[in-house]
Amino acid sequence: MSKHLHKQLRTQLIHAGSPRFHGRIAPVNVPVVRTSTVRFDSTDAYDDLHHRRAAGEAVTSYGRHGMETHRALEDAINALEGGTRTFLTPSGLSAISLTFLALLSPGDHALVSDSVYAPLRRLDQQVLQRLGIELSYFSPGASHVEEHIRSNTRLLYVESPSSLLYEVLDLPRLAEIAQRHDLILAADNTWGSGYLYRPLQLGAHVSVLAATKYISGHSDVMQGAVVVEDAALAACIARTYDNLGLTISADDAYLSLRGLRTLPVRLAQHQANALQVAHYLQDHAQVQRVFYPALAGDPGHALWRRDFSGANGLLSFSFREEEREKARAFVDALKLYAIGASWGGYESLVQIAAPARLAEHSYLAENKPVVRLHVGLEDVRDLIADLDQAFRTVFR
Ligand SMILES: *Cc1c(COP(=O)(O)O)cnc(C)c1O
């Protein structure tokens, strides 16, 4: 497969890992190579591969490191993120914990934007604090980020757009600050999934992904990835990654690779549907505010236009009515949106944003109930009709 012909990202995603010919034919798809160990053709090969692995290279010397299926997915995610090294992890959360455990030591401090994926706070309280690693949270919209940097700050960790409310961060500005203070900048890029947003190109050193969401795209895989460009950083993460024994199955690697083939078309349709839903909600008398960066009125719209190539199917909205029971009744009245966490699959989902989570976000001023929708790939007319009947049922 001639690599030079495949420069555009969409093309790369279609052809990543394309198997070699054996004789005159080759399969279209990457084989699912299930193996718990690997065979070497000589003791020299055994020594060579073990040494290279120990030195931090992405080579296989044991089943835990995976073979063709894993390499193909790593290559595709590298292409997606503009990285040189991808570490595949068994969930998005384990990609986050790998990032913190690999980059920080006892006595170190990390500065974290206050609107990150909420389970990070539990990792902080229940694991990192126990290890003597300190995290503090800052409001990314405030101008005085630098005031929170301490002499022991090593890591600036952010998520853009943020969880639940999609606050768009000025990543290039944060990258400048990180550089000035010699900090590592890591960004959770699950929302952008590499295709809509490329943190490594905007100055971040580490991009963290929950492949569980849009990359696999079919609600049938739990998976994460940590992506870096810098070789020293890759070697540092490789040590912790290997010592923690993190790995994923070849079957799951295959499913994500299959999902990646259609990521651009799925995202385009999610965005088209979500934009229509967002406009419908924006015009609704019971809706206070719609949170969706692709909407012209969203406070993050200008940054989104500057730094992103598109949006996805995630949006939230707040009710005018303060009564929480009404919001719950609304969610219960929906028929096409399944009540559940997560997002990024083909199907529509709905969830009430927990007030305790929202209270942590400095971005939200009001105290109205907030509902998050994942707008799936159903016909958008049906999705809007469902919202409409739920509004009419609850707010007669
Ligand atoms: C879902 C999610 C994660 C965690 O991914 P899991 O695979 O569910 O562990 C991390 N970050 C963000 C922004 C997410 O939405």
203 touches 196 (CB < 8 A): no
Query: For the chain, how many residues are written?
Result: 396
Q: What is the pLDDT of residue 143?
A: 76
Structure tokens at 192: 């952008």
Closest of 217, 193, 196, 380 to residue 294, by C-alpha: 196
Q: How confident is the model at residue 193 (pLDDT cuts 50, 70, 90)?
A: very high
The rounded mean pLDDT for the chain is: 95
Q: What are the residue numbers of the active site?
A: 64, 117, 188, 213
Residue 137 Cβ < 6 Å to ligand 1:
no
Structure tokens at 297: 């009125």
Q: Which ligand 1 atom sits nearest the alpha carbon of residue 116?
A: 13
Structure tokens at 116: 């990150």
Q: What is the pTM of this model?
A: 0.96
3-state secondary structure the chain: CCHHHCCCHHHHHHHCCCCCCECCECCCCCCCCCCCCCCCCCHHHHHHHHHHHHCCCCCCCCHHHCCHHHHHHHHHHHHHHCCCEEEEECCHHHHHHHHHHHHCCCCCEEEEECCCCCHHHHHHHHHHHHHCCEEEEECCCCCCHHHHCCCCEEEEEEECCCCCCCCCCCHHHHHHHHHHCCCEEEEECCCCCCCCCCHHHHCCCEEEEECCCCCCCCCCCCCEEEEECCHHHHHHHHHHHHHHCCCCCHHHHHHHHHHHHCHHHHHHHHHHHHHHHHHHHHCCCCEEEEECCCCCCCCCHHHHHHHCCCCCCEEEEEECCCCHHHHHHHHHHCCCCEECCCCCCCCCEEEECCHHHHHCCCCCCCCCCEEEEECCCCCHHHHHHHHHHHHHHHCC
Distance CA 142, CA 156 (A): 15
Instruction: Calculate how far, in angstroms, residue 341's C-alpha sits from the geometric centre of ligand 1.
Output: 10
* Rounded average pLDDT over 64-89: 96
Could you tell me which residues are beta bridge partners of residue 370? 318
Amino acid at 116: V
Cα dihedral sign, 143-147-151-155: negative
Q: How confident is the model at residue 3 (pLDDT cuts 50, 70, 90)?
A: very low
133 touches 104 (CB < 8 A): yes
Distance CA 369, CA 362 (A): 16
Q: What is the pLDDT of residue 221?
A: 98
| Residue 31 Rama label (left phi>0; alpha psi -120 to 50; beta) | beta
Residue 188 Cβ < 6 Å to ligand 1:
yes
* Interval 12-59: pLDDT, tens: 999 988 999 999 999 999 999 999 999 999 999 999 999 998 888 888
Q: What is the pLDDT of residue 1?
A: 39
* 287-291 sheet: strands from edge to edge: 287-291, 314-319, 370-374, 349-352, 338-339
Residue nearest to atom 3 of ligand 1 (CA): 92
Distance CA 157, CA 112 (A): 5
Q: What is the pLDDT of residue 6?
A: 44
Instruction: Calculate how far, in angstroms, residue 224's C-alpha sits from the geometric centre of ligand 1.
Output: 8
Range of 1-5, 12-16, 309-313 with top mean pLDDT: 309-313
Instruction: Calculate how far, in angstroms, residue 366's C-alpha sits from the geometric centre of ligand 1.
Output: 26
Structure tokens at 370: 């907030």
Q: What is the pLDDT of residue 311?
A: 98
- pLDDT(4) > 60: no
Residue 93 Cβ < 6 Å to ligand 1:
yes
Distance CA 275, CA 292 (A): 8
Residue 69 Cβ < 6 Å to ligand 1:
no
Instruction: Calculate how far, in angstroms, residue 7's C-alpha sits from the geometric centre of ligand 1.
Output: 30
Q: With pLDDT > 90 as the criterion, what percentage of the chain qualifies?
A: 92
- Report all structural domains of the chain as residue ranges with CATH numbers, in order of start: 8-261 (3.40.640.10), 263-394 (3.90.1150.10)
